Amino acid sequence: MTSASVVRDAVEALLAGPQPMPIVQAGDPVLRAVAEPYDGQLDDGLLAELLVAMRATMHAAPGVGLAAPQVGLGLAIAVVEDQWPLDDETALARERTPVPFRVLVNPSYEAVGDERVGHYEGCLSVDGWQAVRSRWRSVRLRCLDERGAEVDEVLHGWPARIVQHETDHLLGRLYVDHAEMRSLVAPTNALRWTDPTPHRAAQALGFDLP
């Protein structure tokens, strides 16, 4: 376990640096390490400052989630928020509903049912690239919020996907670890496969969907 003073020093250095905070890219070991559980290493004021900075960094990227390792901090904290407007067809196909800003402290998830869904997914730490990732359609999320209150709820669709993605970051996993690599799209092709579902891409690129 890292001492609380080391964690505090790391957070203070991050907050004193450029804002929004630089996002760590794939290949940095911090993205492949299991994050240290949060158990009060930061006082309330410093934690609040960190969460404000993480939210601002997520918005600036822009993204719908950000885990602490993505800014170089190996601590089991993530922030999520999805308020992006989508047309009805895309939102319906992806089961994408608004996710208000929330903090996930020491999160874990487990599948609810056995249905998996594949959609194109990206990551701020694999900048610009996208690939189809099969994930559980429904999960049970357990974590604490920023005030230490227990969270235990079931999520479906896109909100469940966001929680799985960010929680995986805290376990040293990237979405590309289990993505359908034949679906991989370079940044220059990012607008080519923007359909509500990846079925057309699956036919053209030759990969299977769950």
Strands 99-111 and 116-122: unpaired
How far apart, in whole angstroms, are the C-alpha atoms of residue 135 and residue 148? Answer: 28
165 is in an annotated binding site: yes
123 is in an annotated binding site: yes
Which residue carries 């319906």 as its tokens?
92
Q: Choosing from 36, 81, 121, 166, which is the catalytic residue? A: 166
Q: Cβ neighbours of residue 57 under 8 Å, at least 6 residues apart?
A: 19, 20, 21, 23, 66, 71
Sheet holding 116-122, edge to edge: 116-122, 130-136, 179-185
Helix or strand run (H / E) with residue 162: helix 157-169
How far apart, in whole angstroms, are the C-alpha atoms of residue 91 and residue 98? Answer: 10
Active site residue 166: yes
Q: CA triplet 94, 149, 76: central angle to 5 degrees? A: 65
Going by the annotation, the residues of the binding site for Fe cation are 123, 165, 169
Going by the annotation, the residues of the binding site are 123, 165, 169
Residues assigned a catalytic role = 166
